[in-house]
Structure 1
Amino acid sequence: VMMAETFKDELICSICIDLFTNPVMLACGHNFCNPCISDYWKNQKKNVSCPECRSVFARKSFRKNRVLANLVEKTQEIEVLQMQEKNKLCCKKHEEKFKLFCETDQKLICLICRDCWEHKNHSFLPVTEVVETYKAKINTSLYLLKEQRDSLSKAQFNQNEKIDGIKRHSISLMEHIRSEFAELHLFLTETENKLISELKQKEEQVLRPMEKSLMEIENKMSSIQQEIVRLQLRLEKPNDIEFLK
């Protein structure tokens, strides 16, 4: 805390005596809040000076100190956290540290709360005694929970072993089924090819004489058709003499 307070002193603007707001650095190296130095220079017409070292500058000029701004932001965050931690340890109503534990209401109270009407005839214990009592209860609960956890861990291990065993058996069975069906598929494919081949042979044996007979029929039809054409041409002769010849 002391280091934090010492560090905080370096982040105080010498004009407003508060944490820097939008800190800027002058040419001389001193830092101020942007609003503070701007207001300080408001009535200085020509030359302006540094409020600390009195260095004189020909014109109003400064640059933003980002490092200092980040430090101020971090410091403010730390202060907020410190205040929150402090509030956790103190009674919000009386701003006193918690010293007692009200067993009746099951909550922390300060010495002023103890004498309030709302805690009349309640039972109180010093915080240190209550801590020891509840730590003992928590340790007992922890012991029981660890036993339950170990028991469940063993059950979990056994269950995982059973699950893994079933999965391994299932994988083995699936591989066996795939192998059997692969052999069956190969057998069926070979049988299919054999039957198709035999069918084609039989088809060829049956069709060959039929196709030969068909060809003879077609040849005869062609011959007859030629004769029909020849006779029709003869009938069409216009001259009787030509027809009889």
Structure 2
Amino acid sequence: MCEEPSNDALKTCLVCDTSYCEACLSKYHPMKAGLARHTLVEASAATPKVLMCTEHPQEKVNMFCETDECLVCSLCKLVGKHKDHEVAAVSDTFQQNKVI
């Protein structure tokens, strides 16, 4: 939220999924009314969200199918409908500056 790049995030709201510096926290997320019920944690303690595969719910998404332009898991590439498609690791896709 911070417009000042020098201000580090101190707190992350687990409900809003947004991190705030001290100034922005008091300005944009005051702990009153409905926001008082939100859970704030230290910014470094916030757990990043993990995307799970829609076809294999037990598998994390870690690949990008360039043919269908969608995120897939390793099982989709090995035995699923994406096995004959052009598939790259998500990190490779980001390095090539492709928009997902």
Q: TM-score range by the shorter chain?
A: 0.3 to 0.5
Alignment TM-score, normalising by the size of structure 2? 0.44
Asked which structure has the greater RCO (Cα within 8 Å, sep 6+), the reply is 2
In terms of fraction of residues, the more helix-rich structure is 1
In terms of fraction of residues, the more strand-rich structure is 2
